[in-house]
Amino acid sequence: MRRRVTRVDPMSASRVLALLLFVQGFVIGALALALKVAGLDIPLPFTPTPGATTITLLLWTPLGFALVGVLSGGILAAIYNWVAKRFGGIEYEMEKSL
């Protein structure tokens, strides 16, 4: 059975992407904090500049990632809706489960 995604709700996409990136930001913040505590100053992408504190790494990194998720999720959903309206959405196949 073929189906097509014709529209994605921007608020829903924003919420989901924000949550996913928040978790990713927390993991990266915790990793950066562990490296800092171990005495290694390895710059990780999207982490604060040198001199970052525990609060910065464990609070602001996930919140910054979540903010990027909210903005990019809504923008990408709106762009997808525009493209899907003009050229058709993503097609996928499903099978009936037992």
Question: What residue spans define the domains of the chain?
Answer: 2-93
Q: Is the model more confident about 50 or about 29?
A: 29
What is 17-42 written as a DSSP string? HHHHHHHHHHHHHHHHHHHHHTT--P
| Exposure string for 52-91, b = 16+ CB within 10 A, e = fewer | beeebbbebbbebbbebbbeebbeebeebbeebeeeebee
Closest CA to 72 of 17, 28, 22: 17
Has residue 48 got a pLDDT over 70? no
Note the pLDDT tens digit of each residue in 53-91: 666 777 888 888 999 999 999 999 999 999 999 998 999
The residues, any chain, with a CB within 8 Å of residue 90's CB and separated by 6 or more, are 4, 5, 84
pLDDT band at 14 (very low <50, low <70, confident <90, very high): very high
Query: For the whole model, what pTM was predicted?
Result: 0.76
